[in-house]
Amino acid sequence: MAFSDIETNYGANIGLDDIVEEQRLFALKHHVSFGDFIQFAGAVGAANCNGGPQIAFFAGRPKATQAPRTFSRMADAGFSAVELVWLLVSHTVAAQERIDTTLLNGTMVPRDGIKTGESPSPYPGEFRLQSDFEVARDSRTACEWQNMIVNRTNMVSKFELVMKKLSLVGQNESALTDCSDVIPVPQGYVRAPHLPAGKSLADIQASCSSTPFPNLSVDAGPVTTIAPVPTQGSASFGTF
């Protein structure tokens, strides 16, 4: 956000320009650092989703003075393979307008064919990242990924934990102010995990060798279809 004239030109950041420019105005208006505003907006956004997490929010990040480097691996930032699974909980429900670069067997792709960075989806309209596909099947992460399916309380608590860690990377927590009490408490969500209509357990590509895949109910009705994302300029939107 501080260096949008540089960062939004990279292919990996395509789709971020509109939301960056919209949020920049709020940060400037209220005289807060861009880092604080991004963390605050993310925490409030997640809390507005039923069954989502209540992410801790610490304020007081200084203004950026130079463009950041990109980590070549999550380990460079101090995150284990399992913690990466916890972070990817944010991909459980999302909408994506475009991209350049779940454990259901993929059979199709949305829109006009698969793009770099995507993986075939199990039902019409779903957008799935190739990285998620691989993490769900890697021997180091498959069992933790599978464990999240039927243990939503664990999923949410682990996401809250690792998101706090992510929000404090490069920061001194004691120098920040804990403002977590301003983040809304998410409403509850009581529906049990289930498979979309038109699929069955036979479509699952289970990759955890030590634990059987959980028995899930299947929605009745025609094959589930995901509605297209409404056009919002070139911005990308994700929700819990």
Residue in the block written with tokens 């009705």: 221
Three-state DSSP class for residue 91: helix
Q: CA 41 to CA 96: how far, in whole Å?
A: 18
- The secondary structure of 15-61 as a DSSP string is T-HHHHHHHHHHHHHTT--HHHHHHHHHHHHHHTSTT------EE-P
Do 223 and 123 meet the contact criterion of CB atoms below 8 Å apart? Answer: yes
Is 101 known to sit in a ligand binding site?
A: no
- The secondary structure of 64-78 as a DSSP string is P-SPPPPPSSGGGGT
Is 31 known to sit in a ligand binding site?
A: no
The size of the chain, in residues, is: 240
Known binding-site residue numbers for Ca(2+): 92
Binding-site residues = 91-92
- Return binding residues for heme b: 91
